[in-house]
Structure 1
Amino acid sequence: MKIYNNILETIGNTPMVRINKMTKDIPATVLAKVETTNPGNSVKDRMAVKMVEEAEKQGLIKPGGTIIEGTSGNTGMGLALAAVIKGYKLICVLSDKQSKEKMDILRAVGAEVVVCPTNVEPEDPRSYYSVSRRLAEETPNSWYVNQYDNLANREAHYESTGPEIWEQTDGKITHFVVGVGTGGTISGVGKYLKEQNPDVKIIGIDTYGSVFKKYHETGIFDENEIYPYITEGIGEDILPKNVDFDTIDHFEKVTDKDAAIYTRKLAREEGIFVGNSAGSAIKGILQMKDMFKKDDVVVVLFHDHGSRYVGKMFNDDWMRDRGFLEEAHKSAHDLLENHKDHPLVTIGVEELASHAVAKMRQYKISQIPVTKDGKFVGLIDETALINQMIGNEQMKDEAVGKIMGPKLPVVQPNTSIKELSKLINKDVPAVLVELGEDKFHIVTRHDVISAMA
């Protein structure tokens, strides 16, 4: 019988899969090292078990001890599997930008999950770096993993991931592309591949809001590069010891929006259901397509499984709320879809300016069409209203008709986005769409900008 003694022995030997449709315009062969077949559904299983085994060898963790780690979720899952098999407790510290699915999965395998705010400095006592260290200091018989600086992380990939890629490509690999977070994967794989062939190019995928690309190119750690971003698992606001910048030939940045869109494309066009960093990686390859030649063999590593993002990148509402959803808005009617169930808010010409302010607050809107005898006769706009009311308390008791601006243009539902964009400008913040039977709705400047994003 061919059996494994425990689940940890199933880690590794993940498949290499050709990318077909998404890279049809790239002359090179593009292959994906799909790490979702690891038992914890991510590449992090490899280094998690390696770090635990090294800690055991060094006496850093004792039987019945507690493992503590700050993680974006995937390393936590690998550590959870090791903890279950080896009899340890596990505390995972995550930032609040990580998906709910990751947190639920960690709890499902017995980990205690502590959630920290994302938008704080690494040194802030609330950051997941600081909280992890504090918990390790306060918890008896505990070991703080510190995957960022624990060099067993990149050793795991030097010993397993790199050799697998070399063997699976018969040594023909010319480029290795992967998202960079702790730096263990790119540095370990990169070291191994360059030892086999120094001409192999090692390319890191970075995100906007991370320091890696600029530091690699200039040697400058620029804090102005740091700001919150949505993409999970890659990019950092610190320089982990596991990132070997000398091994890396190039960093390519990918936006949050592109990362999310191309994560979905991988599922729908290639049938590869993987996570957020995979979307970044494949988009990075497309951005660099002029770098690749006909005989090149490009290997991109996909870190984790798409099931951890079903409430985020694979959720239309989540994507739409962030302006990430690629929808074919062609006409005024299309732009009404997002708010067609909300009635058009209007105000009578004899009502007071204070009533207009109250309606804007109540409905969270910035302009209100003004009516008289059922006809549109003007517009109250928040900017004009504020300008007139500042320093003039009596203005709030003036009739809307005395302070309103010109009425909005009226268009038909089939009016194109292009025509709408010509009508809406700094003086005309919106248009009215005639729906028939004396029904109208409004399309605002914000609607048009969102459709063009």
Structure 2
Amino acid sequence: MERAAWPSSAIRQLTAPANRRARYRRPLQLAESLPEGSNVVILAADGIRNYMNQFIDDEWLIKNKIITHSEKKTVKPKDEFDPKVLVYDPTTLAGEWKQDETTKKWTKCSREFKPYRAQRPAVLNNVLEAIHNTPLVKLNRVPKENGVKCNMFAKCEYFNAGGSTKDRIALKMIELAEAEGKLKPGMTLIEPTSGNTGIGLSLAAAVKGYGCIIVMPVKMSKEKALTMEALGSIIVRTPNEAAFDSAYSHIGVALRLQSEIPGAIILDQYRNMGNPMAHYEQTAEEIIDALDGKVDYVVVGAGTGGTVTGIAKKIKDKVPNCVVVGVDPEGSILADPSQGEVGFYEVEGVGYDFVPGTLNRTVVDRWLKSTDKESFEIARDLIMKEGILCGGSSGSNVHAALEVARGLPEDKNVVAILPDGIRNYLTKFVNNEWMIVRHFDVNETV
């Protein structure tokens, strides 16, 4: 077959063998000579995940003599501070959201809801439009091997632009703050987070031109920090053992930094209405839409609680017979705040030592607890047996979903939320040595 002619000399130049760095510069150089209205399409062949220990990491760049020293910025709060800056209650929602007394639907809200977007545009104006509309994937081998007969589906949130379900709330919180005049050009976002909200905010800050400082505990993965630094954010680490109301916790340090940095704002995922609203407006609608309303169980992990609360409220509105199951790790108090005992756990992004204002426990029908062992082993099974490149908390949710699904008839549909992907954990549960040191079972083929 005769090969078709190249459509232009520009495309020949772009595809010709050349120095790689020069090749990446060429699209911009060639575009400068094109008339207004021309379209240039560049193929982005892969993503950041494959290079977490290479060009994303300053240590690698220095070792390979690409740079001589790190130019990453650092920041730390002053040792002396006014105790008043720590006066903060993360357990109250910053707004009002109630059921309508007549319809019993969760439509009475102090913020205006956006209409549901059923699908992504074919062409995106920026990468933030690649947030929402994630795929719902049927699980096959894992349910079968665990004796499940009903349909199990995974809501793969790592298909969001920044790689997690937290991209949704980051965008929503920023949109609300901009609309209310609280966030203006030139300001700096500061956020205490376990990482994924920080990545979502870093992504949006990069697109919109805001400064961004992320404060997170030491236990959160290096990959999360590298991703946020690549997006231009400054990372501040805090002790794992610091209680939420300590001046040295990620919340305490964020509050201290906000008091010292002019033009800084904490959007506050623990209290911000945008957190559950994002999932009420979109995530739940996507699930209901995909299954034509036949949703019998939804299994959602809880951290700030925004995901489970937002999804549950919309599910209660539209599919009232659906059972909402919350998942909480051993060592967290969200499933039973009266227990009061907090312990260490390895799974990231779930659980807390307080009940955030964004978690409405009344809309959760049932709670299940998860362990690190269960979470990581199921997550590795999902990777190996389903090809789903998920994170550790996804294993928590699917393990709980398997428990729910056992004994259900074939026509029932169980949905598990998979909050993030493998990128954030390449040096953690994906790594056999890391698993063995912590006495978790290892399947050598992962």
What TM-score results when the alignment is normalised by the length of structure 1?
0.69
Q: Does 1:52 align with 2:174?
A: yes
> Which of 100, 107, 129 is 1:9 aligned to?
129
How far apart are 1:131 and its partner, in Å? 0.8
Q: Does 1:223 align with 2:340?
A: yes
Tell me if structure 1 keeps the 8 A contact 2:139–2:154: yes
SS at match of 1:212: coil
CA root-mean-square deviation: 1.4
Following the alignment from structure 2 to structure 1, what is the Cα–Cα distance between the partners of residues 173 and 279? 12
SS at match of 2:272: coil
Partner of 1:191: 313
Q: Does 1:63 align with 2:180?
A: no
Q: How does 1:250-399 map to 2 (within 5 A)?
A: 250-290=366-406, 292-326=408-442
Question: What letter is aligned with 1:285?
Answer: A
After superposition, the C-alpha distances for 1:303-343 in whole angstroms (9 at most, x for unaligned) are 11101101000011110110013379xxxxxxxxxxxxxxx
Question: What letter is aligned with 1:4?
Answer: L
- Which moved further from structure 2: 163-172 or 286-295? 286-295
Gaps of 5+ in 2: 1-38, 40-121
- Which moved further from structure 2: 63-72 or 291-300? 291-300
SS at match of 2:360: coil
**Structure with higher strand content:** 1
Question: What letter is aligned with 1:37?
Answer: F
> Which of 127, 143, 148 is 1:23 aligned to?
143
How far apart are 1:261 and its partner, in Å? 1.2
Percent of residue pairs bearing the same amino acid type: 39
C-alpha spacing 1:291/1:139, structure 2 compared with 1 (3 Å): farther
After superposition, the C-alpha distances for 1:142-164 in whole angstroms (9 at most, x for unaligned) are 11021011111000111111111
How far apart are 1:268 and its partner, in Å? 0.4
Partner of 2:220: 98
SS at match of 2:320: coil
- Which moved further from structure 2: 314-323 or 293-302? 293-302
Following the alignment from structure 1 to structure 2, what is the Cα–Cα distance between the partners of residues 327 and 193? 37
Following the alignment from structure 1 to structure 2, what is the Cα–Cα distance between the partners of residues 231 and 252? 15
Partner of 1:334: none
Partner of 2:83: none
SS at match of 2:414: strand
Following the alignment from structure 1 to structure 2, what is the Cα–Cα distance between the partners of residues 294 and 212? 32
How far apart are 1:292 and its partner, in Å? 3.1
SS at match of 2:236: strand
Question: What letter is aligned with 2:417?
Answer: L
How far apart are 1:291 and its partner, in Å? 6.0
Partner of 2:50: none
Partner of 1:129: 251
Partner of 1:244: 360
Following the alignment from structure 1 to structure 2, what is the Cα–Cα distance between the partners of residues 17 and 327? 23
Q: Does 1:75 align with 2:197?
A: yes
Question: What letter is aligned with 1:125?
Answer: A
Following the alignment from structure 2 to structure 1, what is the Cα–Cα distance between the partners of residues 373 and 156? 22
How far apart are 1:223 and its partner, in Å? 2.2
> Which of 142, 146, 160 is 2:264 aligned to?
142
Tell me if structure 2 keeps the 8 A contact 1:151–1:241: no
After superposition, the C-alpha distances for 1:187-229 in whole angstroms (9 at most, x for unaligned) are 11111111002111111111000001123xxxx2x322x1111
Tell me if structure 2 keeps the 8 A contact 1:212–1:251: no
How far apart are 1:35 and its partner, in Å? 1.0
How far apart are 1:138 and its partner, in Å? 1.4
Gaps of 5+ in 1: 329-453
Following the alignment from structure 1 to structure 2, what is the Cα–Cα distance between the partners of residues 321 and 38? 32
Following the alignment from structure 1 to structure 2, what is the Cα–Cα distance between the partners of residues 48 and 326? 35
Tell me if structure 1 keeps the 8 A contact 2:149–2:407: no
How far apart are 1:260 and its partner, in Å? 1.2
Question: What letter is aligned with 1:68?
Answer: I
Partner of 1:335: none
C-alpha spacing 1:62/1:258, structure 2 compared with 1 (3 Å): same
Following the alignment from structure 1 to structure 2, what is the Cα–Cα distance between the partners of residues 316 and 322? 10
Tell me if structure 1 keeps the 8 A contact 2:373–2:440: yes
Partner of 1:117: 239
> Which of 282, 287, 312 is 1:165 aligned to?
287
Higher relative contact order (CA 8 A, sep 6+): 2
Question: What letter is aligned with 1:113?
Answer: I
After superposition, the C-alpha distances for 1:250-290 in whole angstroms (9 at most, x for unaligned) are 11111111111111111001110110110111111223334
Question: What letter is aligned with 1:31?
Answer: F
- Which moved further from structure 2: 76-85 or 286-295? 286-295
What TM-score results when the alignment is normalised by the length of structure 2?
0.70
How far apart are 1:122 and its partner, in Å? 1.3
Following the alignment from structure 2 to structure 1, what is the Cα–Cα distance between the partners of residues 436 and 267? 37
Following the alignment from structure 1 to structure 2, what is the Cα–Cα distance between the partners of residues 75 and 54? 16
Tell me if structure 1 keeps the 8 A contact 2:149–2:406: no
For this pair of structures, how many residues does the alignment match? 322
Q: Which has the larger radius of gyration?
A: 1
Question: What letter is aligned with 2:356?
Answer: P
Question: What letter is aligned with 1:213?
Answer: A
Tell me if structure 2 keeps the 8 A contact 1:316–1:325: no
Question: What letter is aligned with 1:288?
Answer: V
